[in-house]
Structure 1
């Protein structure tokens, strides 16, 4: 089990071109199994904001080195190129460090 003090959480916000949203979702879904196989990937899950159409990728990595390897890897760069024309704006990437509070099982992602 990873050390929760070193775990890195990422939230990426993707704004689809409205008429290409389904294509964007399909492209991300196709890439997810490969990311799940990457060393240090604890969670890589796509979520949708139904009222706005925005997509959010919620990720958890064992440590910053695992995230850096993911971001520098060829699969990430290839999917980024594939997703770019399907997005109305560049992805917003938020790299977060946990601030645990309350129940240790519920206070971190």
Structure 2
């Protein structure tokens, strides 16, 4: 009887944690807020165009990037976003953002490139 209660308790804990993770799965809006907070990136229209501020010595410049290609994959517990951006001023300047969202947070999977 004691093994049965332990097993039932374990199953209830697993189900509870699964439900909490599903309810805390990040959304696209959370992704936009995270970009702003983490990297200072402003999203325009569902992040198809982003704007970044770079400080080069005494000069502050804002560079716009357009979404060249990207994928969003939504799982039961996670949201993965992989987007590649190209600078509107310098087409050779590319940037890649690859993140995974889990339990209300985003984690960077690959590093990003900025202006040359």
TM norm. shorter chain > 0.5: no
Q: How does the TM-score come out when normalised to structure 2? A: 0.25
Decide which structure has greater helix share.
1
Q: How does the TM-score come out when normalised to structure 1? A: 0.26
Greater relative contact order structure (CA < 8 Å, 6+ sep): 1
